Amino acid sequence: MAAELLMTPYAMDRFMGRLIAEGPVMGPRDRRVQPGFVKFEWLSSADELVLEYTTTTIPPKKAFFPPRQPLFEFELSEPPTITAVQEATPFTLVGVHPCDLAGLSMLDDAYAREPAEACWPAARARARVIGVDCLPDEYCFCFAMNTCNSREGADLFLTPIARGYLVEVLTEAGEEMLRLSDVEDAEDEDRSQAQAFRRDKGNRLSASIDASPEEFAEILETQELGELWREIAGRCYSCGSCNTTCPTCFCFDINDEFDLGLTGGQRVRTWDSCQLQEFALVAGGHNFRRIRWQRVRHRWHRKFLYLYRTFGRPYCTGCGRCSRACTADINIVDVSNEVIARARGRV
């Protein structure tokens, strides 16, 4: 068991202040224009940090894999030049929920697989991560996806208790960070409150997928269910919000953008989405998933079949962001359970 300490709200505030003074810190922050909607953002002072929040639109993967990321700058001089855009500053990512810790870890595995991607591990190596426990809303199903108590990749983990936060020290980097803080020894009462918090969280998580990951993968692998996918596709905009909000999605597109000087520019990569019509369009004009229902089905296959088989766990954290973001109200738990029910009804 990792060491457990107590940090009072006052100590937390000072700790965050010192972290921010030491280097860049990204964490959940309220929006100035639209208060009440928290997002991960670079913090300029400790009082901006919102440690109690339900969820964010965009997951914290954006700290390591920005939605729009310049890869290099080019000049069409003689000879042409290329300058890589490289970030080297270490930073701290604060306030990551357990499901999102699992999401980051899934991307670690996915990007490490050959041919390995270079930007993600480089960015991960620059960062320390502080997790925090949370209470779910009706869209969350992390319990069903076995991520609700994840501590993966966290250096410190915080659980809200009456006296402040119970701090789990999970790595040496976490211990090192605590040199900046005034922690106290936790008492039994603090520990039992943290346990009660986790129990309460578990009790509130009602949404669940009605089959084991293995059974669900088998169903997706063996059952066509074309009619169901067509029904869902009839309601789907192909807007991609279920991908652009997903902590486990890793696809990107790459484009060159000229400056107005017309002699140079940037190569930029941006998040892509398999729900968009042109996602699987290749040179020569062939589109592997031109039809909408094929793309809808692909999202389920990708998360619960292909990557489950490749990495040994479903590539879904149960964060519910895709369902919250879907303006067609296509809910990942409902659709999954409908798939399971129809498949079982058939055999």
Partner 1 sequence: MPQEAPIPRFGHKPQVAFFDFACCEGCQLSVLQLEEKLLEILGHVDVVTWREAMTETSSEYDIAFCEGSITTEEDIERIRAIRKQAEVLVTLGSCASGGCHNELKNQWSMDEVLGVVYGDDAGGISTIPSRPISAVVDVDYQTFGCPVSLPEFVTVVSCMLTGQHYEPPNQPVCVECKLNDYVCVYEKGEVCLGPVTRCGCNAICTSFGHACQGCRGLMDSANLPAMLKALTREEAHSIMRMVVERHSLTEDEIAAKLRIYNNWPELRMEEAQPDDD
- Residues lying near partner 1 in the complex (CB under 8 A): 31, 33-34, 37, 39-40, 57-58, 62, 67-68, 138-139, 230, 233-241, 244-245, 257-263, 270-271, 273, 276-278, 290-293, 323-325, 327-329, 331
Q: Which residue, 12 or 246, is less far from partner 1 as judged by CB? A: 246
Minimum distance, C-beta of residue 44 to partner 1, in the bound complex (Å): 17
CA terminus-to-terminus distance, the chain? 45
Q: Which is nearer to ligand SF4, 22 or 334 (CB)?
A: 334
Q: How far is the CB of 103 from ligand SF4 (least distance, A)?
A: 6
- CB closer to partner 1 out of 57 and 181: 57
Distance (Å, whole) CA 85 – CA 73 = 7
Distance in Å, CB of 241 to partner 1, minimum: 5
Cα separation, 154 vs 124, whole angstroms: 11
Apex 237 CA angle, 336 and 105, nearest 5: 50
Contact 181, 14 (CB under 8 A): yes
Cβ neighbours of residue 242 under 8 Å, at least 6 residues apart? 273, 275, 299, 322, 323, 325, 326, 330, 332
Size of the site for ligand SF4 (CB under 6 A): 26
Instruction: Classify 296 as helix, strand or coil.
Output: helix
Nearer to partner 1, 5 or 249 (CB): 249
What SS3 state is found at 71? strand
Is the CB of 150 or the CB of 248 nearer to ligand SF4?
248
- Tell me which of ligand SF4, partner 1, none is bound by residue 86, counting a contact when its beta carbon lies within the kind-specific cut-off of 5 to 8 angstroms: none
Largest CA distance in the chain: 70
- Binding at 230: pick from partner 1, ligand SF4, none (beta carbon under 5-8 Å per type): partner 1
**The binder of ligand SF4 chosen from 62, 240, 265, 300 (CB under 6 A):** 240
**Tokens encoding 264:** 């140079």
| DSSP SS3 for 168 | strand
Cis-peptide into 79, omega within 30 deg: yes
Between the CA atoms of 281, 285, 286 and 287, what dihedral angle is there, to the nearest 10 degrees? 30
Q: Please state the closest distance from residue 205 (CB atom) to partner 1, in A.
A: 16
Whether 256 and 266 have beta carbons less than 8 Å apart is answered as yes
Which residue, 2 or 58, has its beta carbon nearer to ligand SF4? 58
Q: Give residues 152-211 in contact with ligand SF4 (rule: CB under 6 A).
A: none
Cβ pair 144, 207 in contact under 8 A: yes
Q: Which is nearer to ligand SF4, 169 or 316 (CB)?
A: 316
Q: How far apart are CA 205 and CA 140, in angstroms?
A: 7
Q: Are 209 and 220 in contact (CB under 8 A)?
A: no
> Which helix H or strand E contains 68, and what residues bound it?
strand 68-75
Give me the 298-337 binding string for ligand SF4, x by CB under 6 A, dash otherwise: -----x------------xxxxxxx--xxxx-x-x-----
Q: Smallest distance from the beta carbon of 58 to ligand SF4, in angstroms?
A: 11
Interface mask toward ligand SF4 for 261-300; x: CB under 6 A = --------------x-------------------------
Task: Determine which residue in the list 160, 174, 247, 265 makes contact with ligand SF4, applying CB under 6 A.
Answer: 247
- Residues in the chain, how many? 347
CA proximity to 332, closest of 246, 259, 274: 246
Q: Which of 92, 241, 331, 336 binds ligand SF4 (CB under 6 A)?
A: 241
- The footprint of ligand SF4 (CB under 6 A) covers 236-242, 245-248, 275, 303, 316-322, 325-328, 330, 332
